[in-house]
Copies of this chain bind each other. A is one copy, B any other.
Amino acid sequence: MAVNVRSRTGTRERIHDAGLTLFNERGYTGTTVRELADAVDLTPGAIYNHYPSKESLLFAIIDRVHDEADTILSETLRGVGNDPVAQLEALASAFTGFHIARPRETRVANRDYIYLPARERESVVRRRRRVRALFVEVLRDGERRGHFCFAELGSEDAVQAASMAILNMVVLVAEWFDPARSRSAAETAALHGRLALRIARSGR
Q: Is the CB of B182 within 8 A of A157?
A: yes
Q: Is the CB of B157 within 8 A of A188?
A: yes
Binds B, one of A41-49, A67-75, A117-125, A193-201: A193-201
Q: Is the CB of A155 within 8 A of B168?
A: no
> Mask for A156-174, Cβ within 8 A of B = 1, else 0?
1110111011001100110
Given A30-B29, A168-B169, A195:B155 Cβ within 8 A: no
A13-39 contacts to B, CB under 8 A, are 26-27, 29-30
Residues of chain B contacted by A195 (CB below 8 angstroms)? 153, 161-162, 165, 199
Residues of chain B contacted by A27 (CB below 8 angstroms)? 27, 29, 114-115
Given A27-B27, A29-B29, A29-B30, A155:B188 Cβ within 8 A: yes
CA–CA, A144 and B113, complex, Å: 43
CA–CA, A153 and B156, complex, Å: 29
Q: Is A60 on the interface with B (CB-CB < 8 A)?
A: no
Q: Is the CB of A183 within 8 A of B156?
A: yes
A190 to chain B, nearest CB (A): 8
Q: Is A133 on the interface with B (CB-CB < 8 A)?
A: no
Q: Is the CB of B191 within 8 A of A153?
A: yes
Residues of chain B contacted by A183 (CB below 8 angstroms)? 155-157
Question: Which residue of A175, A194, A198 has the most chain B CB atoms within 10 A of its CB atom?
Answer: A198
The 9 closest A-B pairs by CB, nearest first: A165-B169, A29-B30, A29-B29, A168-B168, A155-B191, A168-B172, A164-B176, A157-B183, A198-B198
Give the interface of A toward B (CB within 8 A).
Answer: 26-27, 29-30, 111, 114-115, 153-158, 160-162, 164-165, 168-169, 172-173, 175-176, 182-183, 187-188, 190-192, 194-195, 198-199, 201
What 10 new A-B contacts, CB under 8 Å, besides A164-B169, A198-B199, A198-B201? A26-B29, A111-B111, A154-B191, A155-B187, A157-B182, A161-B169, A165-B165, A168-B172, A169-B169, A199-B199
